[in-house]
Amino acid sequence: MEFLAQYNLTGIVIGIATFLIIGIFHPMVTKGEYYFGVKIWWLFLVMGIAAVAGSIAVRHILWSTLLAVWGASSLWSIGELFEQRERVAKGWFPKNPKRK
Q: Each residue of 44-65: pLDDT tens digit?
A: 999 999 999 999 999 999 999 9
pLDDT at site 1: 67
Q: CA 86: distance to chain centroid? A: 19
Q: Each residue of 79-88: pLDDT tens digit?
A: 999 999 999 9
Residue 2 has pLDDT above 80, yes or no: no
| Domain ranges (residues) in the chain | 2-89
Q: Strand, helix or coil at 18?
A: helix
Residue 59: count of CB within 10 angstroms of its CB: 6
Q: Strand, helix or coil at 57?
A: helix
